[in-house]
Homo-oligomer: A and B are copies of this chain.
Amino acid sequence: MKELEFTDGTQNSKSAIRNSQSPASRHDQKLEFILRTAARIFADKSYHSTSMRDISRATTVSLAGLYHYCKSKEELLFMIQDNCFGRVAERLEERLRDVTDPTIKLKIFIENHLSFFAANMAEMKVLSHEAQSLQGDLHAHVSGRKEKYTKLATRILREVHDEQHRNHPMNLTVATYALFGMMNWIYNWYDPKGKLKVHDLAQNLTQLFLEGFAPGIASDLASSRSLRNPSENLSIWRGERS
């Protein structure tokens, strides 16, 4: 009966969607809940030390129930990694559409990566620590996504460099991995619920990197408008808010 209290059309349509959920959508929500929980446990105690029984206990889904959603623990790990790279890249592609200025592209890349992973820290740790835990085709598929994403970063850095600092010597491979290192290391120290907001983290890291990579172009960064809508839900999973 709660839906009837809404008078706002948007809310009504949201309620309508919630109430008319197809079995497929309910299946997806349950799967997301399982993946989210598995990511947290893999991040806490490593993939190899986690059993399907641990995941069953934490999700209160029976073992038989779990195998209805995935063939194996490895498939769970694959789905977490694949979802992460898929979502961060898809969101980036959307945000880069119609942007031509290389420096703005780089700022968007950094902000997109940091805000996405600050909202998905357990998944970030799993991506980093369990990159070698997948085998064969599953490993190749995730590696392909990661390589494509890394190449995009290098391409943007090359554009910034060519436009601004063609004569300033710079190893683009070192620069690309220095950038990923600065950003990805946050799972070791950053608390998204702490005093330092993710927007300020992104601004600090962008300024540090951009000033070092292309001296002079980051100086107006402090006064630039926020690149992200702060109310946006960035958790990879629908059941959580960033």
Q: A interface vs B, CB < 8 Å?
A: 45-46, 48-49, 128-129, 169-171, 173-175, 177-178, 180-186, 188-190, 196, 200-201, 204-205, 207-213, 215, 218, 222
Contact = CB atoms under 8 A, between A and B. Distances in A.
Contacts of A205: 174, 178
A215 B213 contact: no
A199 to B, nearest CB: 13
Nearest to A206: B212
A145 B213 CA distance: 32
A215 B129 CA distance: 34
The 7 closest A-B pairs by CB, nearest first: A181-B185, A212-B212, A208-B212, A211-B212, A48-B49, A181-B181, A174-B204
A184 to B, nearest CB: 7
A174 B128 CA distance: 20
Contacts of A211: 211-212, 215
Question: In the complex, which of the residues A183, A184, A204, A208 has the most CB atoms of chain B within 10 Å of its own CB atom?
Answer: A208
A181 B174 contact: no
Contacts of A207: 212
Contacts of A196: 171, 173-174
A199 B157 CA distance: 23
Contacts of A178: 182, 185, 204-205, 208-209
A210 B181 CA distance: 16
A84 B201 CA distance: 30
Given A174-B196, A181-B188, 12 more contacts: A48-B49, A169-B222, A171-B196, A171-B200, A173-B196, A174-B201, A178-B204, A178-B205, A181-B182, A207-B212, A211-B211, A212-B213
A171 B204 contact: yes
